[in-house]
Amino acid sequence: MKINVSREILAGELRDKVKELSAQNLLACYQCGKCSAGCPSIEAMDIMPSQVLRLVQLGQVRQALASKTIWLCAACQTCKVRCPKGVDLAKIMEALRQVVLRESANYVQPNEIPGENLEKLPQVALIANFRKFTR
């Protein structure tokens, strides 16, 4: 696996967008991994939450956006409360999702959810899901 780094790549528009949307100091993260260690969804993720942030730190935002990780986040805030540097990773995950949602299509298509699920699932699950995964 190889990445290219340069001043242009680091100064990329996307990275700035993520920084702005999340209102976080991306450089404060020193990659200790405590967020990943406490993440409830990690077993289903392709890359770890801390790795997503690492990619963004190095300007490789497209790669971060292509991960399954950002869509498996349950916004449980465990990462945020335990981070020793005060980085709110939940906000960074939200920023990454928003970049995708605002650029392209919904992640979840509400009209493709099977009818029986719609009946069984409590509204709060649907509302919360659509809040996070649609624009």
Partner 1 sequence: MTDIAYMPGCTLKTSGRNFDETTRKFLELFGVKLNELPDWCCCGTTYSLASDNLMYHLAPARNLVKAAESGSSKLLVPCAMCYNTLRRAQDLILNDKEKRDKLNDFMDKEKTKISGDEVRVMHLVSFLKEDVGFDTIKAKITPPPAGLKAAVYYGCMLLRPNEIAIDKHPEDPSIMEKLLEACGIETVYFPFKTECCGSYQVVNEKRLVVSRTAEIVKSAFRNGAELIITSCPLCYFNLDAHQEELSRGVKYFNTVPVMYISQLLALLAGVVEGSNYSLHAVDPRPLLRKKGLLA
Partner 2 sequence: MNIGIKKKPRLNRIGVFLCHCGINIASVIDLERVKAAISKYEGVAFARDYQYMCSEPGQELFKEACRSGSIDGIVVASCSPRLHETTFRRAAEEAGLNSYRVEIANIREQCSWVHHDDHEKATAKAIEILAGVIERARSDEALVAPSIPVTKKALVIGAGISGMQTALNIANSGYEVILLDRQSSIGGHMAQLSETFPTLDCSQCIMTPRMVEVGQNKKIKLMTYSEVEEVSGYVGNFKVKVRRKAAYVDWNKCTGCGICSEKCPTKVKSEFNQMLADRKAIYTPFPQAVPNKFVIDRESCIYFKRGKCQVCLKTCPLKAIDFEQKDRIEELEVGTIVAATGYDLYDKENLEEYRMGYCPDVIDSLTFERLLSASGPTGGKIRRPSDGKIPEEIVFIQCCGSRDPENHFAYCSKVCCMYTAKHAMLYKHRVPQGQPYIFYMDIRAGGKNYEEFVQRAVEEEEVVYLRGRVSKLYRDNGKIVVAGVDTLSMAKVEVRADMVVLAMAMRPAWGIEDIVKKLKIQVDANGFLAEAHPKLRPVETMTQGIFIVGCAQAPKDIPDTVAQAGAAASKVVELFSQERLSREPITSWSDEELCAGCGQCVEQCAYQAIEIDPKKKVARVNEILCQGCGACVVTCPSGAMNQKNFTVKQYYNMIEAMV
Q: How far is the CB of 70 from partner 2 (least distance, A)?
A: 16
Residues 6 or more apart from 45 whose CB is under 8 A from it? 39, 67, 68, 69, 72
**5 touching partner 2, by CB under 8 A:** no
**9 touching partner 1, by CB under 8 A:** no
Q: Which residue has tokens 């996070």?
A: 132
| Contact by Cβ (8 Å): 35, 49 | yes
**91 touching partner 1, by CB under 8 A:** yes
Query: For residue 86, which amino acid is it?
Result: G
Q: Which of residues 86-125 bind partner 2 (CB under 8 A)?
A: 86
Q: Which of residues 13-52 bind partner 2 (CB under 8 A)?
A: 30-39, 42-43, 47-48, 50-51
* 55/89 with CB nearer partner 1: 89
**From residue 33, how far is each of 23, 37, 49, 50, 62 by CA, in Å?**
21, 6, 8, 6, 21
Residue 77 Ramachandran class (φ > 0 left, ψ -120 to 50 alpha, else beta): left
Which positions lie near partner 2, rule CB under 8 A? 30-39, 42-43, 47-48, 50-51, 78, 82-86
Interaction site with partner 1 (CB under 8 A): 20-23, 40-41, 43-44, 71-72, 74-78, 80-81, 88, 90-91, 93-95, 98, 108, 113, 117, 120-129, 131-133
